[in-house]
């Protein structure tokens, strides 16, 4: 039986990798693709994969391209709000959510009722709205699989194990481009250097987050939420080659780890239950990676943002949404030249402790409207409170 697939955010890196996995696979049919504004790329994707439904968010481009899509018999819709209208009562076999940022939360909640399996690579969606997402997953009996490499690895390692048997979960971090640089060297880092990740090809935002270690902090929070863990159950180790993606210690004295090449097609293909996408050869390069496995404890003097882990509340609160909003704002300003690299770190560490924001850390969002409201409150506060640090 042919399985239908929806890819939300198909023009981004995860969406592109998903299409690569599905290329020439006759067991799958792509039912719908979405993008924010990369209309030419999604047009080419729709033609290549014979997709009949496309959503874009940019109204101007929607109006300009509507006729072009119609000529190819492709239904073009404006806005992700149309997902339920397109799917109607249809249950899609696999939904891949690769929309970047907090903008991925609302589409996730909207599409869960129409999903048999939802594969999520969007950190912000899980971090800010997991308690809401989880309720919907249970209500609509939708299976969830994380496809971020680290969380997919944890999921794979523990899926047949009782939670009570888990003693410790280790997330690995490459250390990014500045692993060997001390704190004093980070003041004048240019975006082109911060974007130069040694192992992964990623979008600009996540590449900056990787260089500051904020991405790993987000993954730490994700792991706690997805796998119902406590802070004491999760640790981070530096692993420069990014070959091992997660390690799990079990209480019966067994340690498992999962390794694969730095290629997102691997977790995506496995989540889609595609058994083989290429020929795995045990060659000298692979043996070299096994023989050069090394780990170290990340140092706060190199990655000062790691001190944020101590502030993370044990229970779900507005802390996560506020942290993401602050970080998003600062990374955007850094990429457009408004602040320097040092200012990302210093502002986050200062702002996250401000009483104006910390008063929300004992409160819990009940729905997406609560989350949107706290994002607006945080953005408003940031307008006059971001400093430039030399």
The tens digit of pLDDT for each residue in 100-140 reads 888 899 999 999 999 999 999 989 999 999 999 999 999 99
152, two tokens:
């997919």
The tens digit of pLDDT for each residue in 313-352 reads 999 999 999 999 999 999 999 999 999 999 999 999 999 9
Looking at the whole model, is its pTM more than 0.85?
Answer: yes
The tens digit of pLDDT for each residue in 10-61 reads 999 899 999 999 999 999 999 999 999 999 999 999 999 999 999 999 999 9
Q: Which residue has the higher pLDDT, 81 or 39?
A: 39
Q: What pLDDT, on a 0 to 100 scale, did the predictor assign at position 163?
A: 86
Q: What pLDDT, on a 0 to 100 scale, did the predictor assign at position 60?
A: 95
214, two tokens:
């904020």
Q: Is the pLDDT of residue 168 over 90?
A: yes
Q: Are 383 and 330 in contact (CB under 8 A)?
A: no
Q: Are 110 and 85 in contact (CB under 8 A)?
A: no
Confidence tier at 191 by pLDDT (50, 70, 90): confident
Q: Are 189 and 341 in contact (CB under 8 A)?
A: yes
Q: Are 351 and 324 in contact (CB under 8 A)?
A: no
Q: Are 9 and 34 in contact (CB under 8 A)?
A: yes
Please tell me the least confidently modeled range out of 90-94, 98-102, 104-108, 275-279: 275-279
CA 162-248-293 angle, 5° bins: 160
Three-state DSSP state, 264: coil
Segment 140-147 shows an average pLDDT of 97
d(CA 147, CA 266): 9
Q: Are 339 and 333 in contact (CB under 8 A)?
A: yes
Q: What domains does the chain contain, in order, with CATH numbers?
A: 3-146 (3.40.50.720), 150-307 (no CATH), 313-390 (1.10.1740)
Q: Mean pLDDT for the chain?
A: 92
Dihedral through CA 186, CA 188, CA 193, CA 194, nearest 10?
50
Q: Other CB atoms closer than 10 Å to residue 229's CB: what's the count? A: 17
Integer CA distances (angstroms), 94 to 101, 243, 245, in order: 21, 27, 24
CB burial of residue 182 (10 Å; 0-12, 13-18, 19+):
exposed
Report which of 205, 9, 202 is spatially closest to residue 99, judged by C-alpha positions.
Answer: 9
């Amino acid at each position: 039986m042919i399985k239908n697939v929806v890819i939300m955010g198909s023009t981004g890196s995860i969406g592109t990798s998903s299409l690569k996995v599905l290329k020439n696979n006759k067991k799958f049919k792509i039912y719908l693709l979405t993008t924010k504004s990369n209309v030419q790329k999604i047009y080419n994707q729709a033609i290549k994969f014979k997709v009949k439904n496309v959503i874009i968010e940019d109204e101007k481009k929607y109006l300009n391209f509507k006729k072009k899509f119609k000529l190819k018999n492709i239904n073009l819709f404006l806005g992700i709000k149309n997902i339920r209208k397109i799917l109607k009562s249809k249950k899609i076999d696999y939904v891949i959510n690769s929309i970047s940022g907090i903008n991925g939360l609302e589409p996730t909640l909207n599409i869960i009722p129409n999903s048999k399996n939802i594969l999520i690579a969007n950190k912000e969606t899980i971090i800010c709205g997991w308690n809401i997402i989880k309720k919907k997953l249970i209500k609509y009996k939708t299976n969830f699989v994380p496809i971020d490499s680290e969380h997919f690895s944890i999921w794979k390692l523990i899926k047949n194990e009782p939670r009570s048997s888990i003693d410790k979960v280790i997330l690995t971090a490459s250390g990014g481009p500045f692993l060997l640089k001390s704190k004093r060297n980070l003041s004048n880092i240019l975006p082109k250097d911060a974007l130069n990740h040694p192992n992964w090809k990623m979008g600009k935002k996540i590449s900056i987050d990787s260089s500051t270690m904020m991405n790993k902090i987000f993954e730490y929070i994700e792991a706690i939420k997805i796998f119902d863990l406590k802070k004491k159950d999760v640790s981070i180790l530096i692993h420069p080659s990014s070959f091992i993606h997660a390690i799990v210690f079990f209480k019966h004295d067994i340690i498992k780890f999962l390794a694969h090449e730095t290629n997102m097609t691997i977790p995506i293909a496995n989540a889609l239950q595609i058994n083989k996408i290429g020929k795995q050869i045990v060659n000298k390069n692979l043996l070299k990676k096994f023989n050069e496995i090394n780990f170290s404890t990340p140092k706060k003097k190199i990655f000062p943002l790691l001190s944020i882990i101590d502030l993370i509340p044990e229970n779900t609160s507005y802390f996560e949404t506020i942290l993401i909003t602050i970080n998003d704002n600062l990374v955007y300003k850094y990429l457009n030249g408004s602040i320097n690299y040092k200012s990302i770190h210093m502002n986050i560490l200062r702002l996250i402790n401000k009483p104006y924001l910390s008063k929300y850390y004992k409160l819990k969002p009940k729905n997406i409207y609560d989350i949107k409201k706290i994002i607006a409150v945080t953005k408003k506060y940031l307008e006059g409170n971001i400093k430039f640090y030399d």
